[in-house]
Amino acid sequence: MANVRLEDIKRRFNNVTAIEDISFEIPDGEFWVLVGPSGCGKSTILRTIAGLETATSGKLFIGDRLMNNIPARQRDVAMVFQNYALYPHMTVAENIAFGMQMRKVDRKVIQDRVLNVARSLSLEHLLDRKPKQLSGGQQQRVALGRAIARQPQVFLLDEPLSNLDAQLRDDTRAELKQLHQNVGITTVYVTHDQVEAMTLADQIVVLNRGRIQQIGDPQSIYANPANQMVASFLGNPPMNILPAIAQYEGFNVSGQLLEIPTTLQAKLQLHQGKSVDLGIRPEHITINTDSAAITENSALLSVEVKVVEPLGRETLIRASVPDSSVLLNVQVGGAVRLHPGDRLSLQLDLNHLFVFDST
């Protein structure tokens, strides 16, 4: 096992800069997730660590050894891709053993390790099967097992769950997390799926257009996003974004004034007179039924219900702000008697209001 350190890595393809200013250090044994929209540079970073891509500039260290000029096969990393190519003519056991056989690992050691890996991935009962006799999820677990069995210093995963259907993806995700808890190999995991990032990561690296937007643990990134891109990317449903103008006494949202109490004036003062984007998560909005009962540090906003989506445990309401194209997501517990066209007064918890520079 080893730590992984990137120092100011840049990769250019002809005139296109795929990634730049990429610096972070993954401590030994941690699970880090690189997340961001398609084309933001996640795979390029992963492939650079693997040695499948060469950095245009910057330094890459694995376990304090400079890796820039070390070929992929000498880096002692294992990579799993989304299309998990198993050898079709080999059994599960043979597939898992293959990498070790190539490295001339002792036969008894191989046997033990295949069994251990199969146990940790619940594959023991499938060891004699061929890949075509397995489900997609089982095949992907074999691919993970094959990579882990080599006991690499670093484990690199590029969207390994994206070919699985929803239920299998959830199950395999949980297994992957457990596996990491058991074996503790330093892991870099690439995904565009914010749920995978939130649930798996010790630390998340959010990327956009080839640059790091924020690094942090899932909870702190969710609670304190560095900018609007991060705010909108993490969270499902995503954070609501309301274009507004900062005025003396509050934010003007399409003609409605969100009054800001003096205790929260700092949110307002920095932006006086400017166009801003207000951010608020669905769970920080409630439906106000009695304007006399408005709580401290909150403000009211009138909206019109557009769509009501009952989800069982809660209901998701999509509502529009009159005279604007802004749609808000509001999550309320249980069932509600609301219909499209109903007028609502929403109460926004201003303690959880973010103010971003207008994009």
Closest approach, Cβ 255 to ligand ADP, in A, equals: 40
Q: Which long-range contacts (CB under 8 A, 24 or more apart) does 113-117 make?
A: 113/149, 113/151, 114/149, 117/145, 117/148, 117/149
Which is nearer to ligand ADP, 18 or 185 (by Cβ)? 18
- Which of these segments, 11-19, 87-95, 135-143, 171-179, binds ligand ADP (CB under 6 A)? 11-19
Closest approach, Cβ 44 to ligand ADP, in A, equals: 3
Closest approach, Cβ 37 to ligand ADP, in A, equals: 7
Beta bridge partners of 16: 13
Beta bridge partners of 156: 79, 188
**Spatial separation of the C-alpha atoms in residues 251 and 299, rounded to whole Å:** 10
Closest approach, Cβ 344 to ligand ADP, in A, equals: 39
Which is nearer to ligand ADP, 33 or 301 (by Cβ)? 33
**Spatial separation of the C-alpha atoms in residues 142 and 132, rounded to whole Å:** 12
Run of H or E residues at 94 = helix 92-102
Binding mask 147-176 for ligand ADP (x = CB under 6 A): ------------------------------
Instruction: Provide φ and ψ at 266, rounded to 5°.
Output: -60, -35
Which is nearer to ligand ADP, 47 or 146 (by Cβ)? 47
Closest approach, Cβ 157 to ligand ADP, in A, equals: 12
**Spatial separation of the C-alpha atoms in residues 267 and 165, rounded to whole Å:** 43
Instruction: Provide the terminal-to-terminal Cα distance of the chain, rounded to the nearest Å.
Output: 42
Residue 13 makes contact with ligand ADP by CB under 6 A: yes
Residue 136 makes contact with ligand ADP by CB under 6 A: no
Size of the site for ligand ADP (CB under 6 A): 11
92-102 helix and 107-120 helix, angle to the nearest 10 degrees: 130
Closest approach, Cβ 97 to ligand ADP, in A, equals: 31
Q: Which SS3 state, helix, strand or coil, does residue 46 take?
A: helix
Residue 113 makes contact with ligand ADP by CB under 6 A: no
Residues 24-83 that bind ligand ADP (CB under 6 A): 36, 38-44
**Spatial separation of the C-alpha atoms in residues 155 and 26, rounded to whole Å:** 12
Residue 194 makes contact with ligand ADP by CB under 6 A: no
User: Which residue carries 């023991």 as its tokens?
Assistant: 124
Closest approach, Cβ 40 to ligand ADP, in A, equals: 4
Closest approach, Cβ 48 to ligand ADP, in A, equals: 9
- 339 in Cβ contact with 305 (< 8 Å): yes
Which is nearer to ligand ADP, 205 or 268 (by Cβ)? 205
Beta strands 327-333 and 256-259 are: unpaired
**Spatial separation of the C-alpha atoms in residues 171 and 168, rounded to whole Å:** 5
Residue 22 makes contact with ligand ADP by CB under 6 A: no
Query: Which of residues 9, 18, 201, 230 is near ligand ADP by CB under 6 A?
Result: 18
**Spatial separation of the C-alpha atoms in residues 13 and 39, rounded to whole Å:** 13
**Spatial separation of the C-alpha atoms in residues 50 and 207, rounded to whole Å:** 19
Which is nearer to ligand ADP, 41 or 145 (by Cβ)? 41
What are the helix and strand counts (H, E) for the chain? 9, 20
Residue 16 makes contact with ligand ADP by CB under 6 A: yes
Which is nearer to ligand ADP, 36 or 282 (by Cβ)? 36
Contacts of 219 (CB under 8 A, 6+ apart): none
Which is nearer to ligand ADP, 211 or 352 (by Cβ)? 211
Which is nearer to ligand ADP, 43 or 256 (by Cβ)? 43
Residue 87 makes contact with ligand ADP by CB under 6 A: no
Which is nearer to ligand ADP, 40 or 350 (by Cβ)? 40
**Spatial separation of the C-alpha atoms in residues 261 and 232, rounded to whole Å:** 26
Which is nearer to ligand ADP, 43 or 347 (by Cβ)? 43
Closest approach, Cβ 19 to ligand ADP, in A, equals: 7
Under the rule (CB under 6 A), what is the footprint of ligand ADP? 13, 16, 18, 36, 38-44
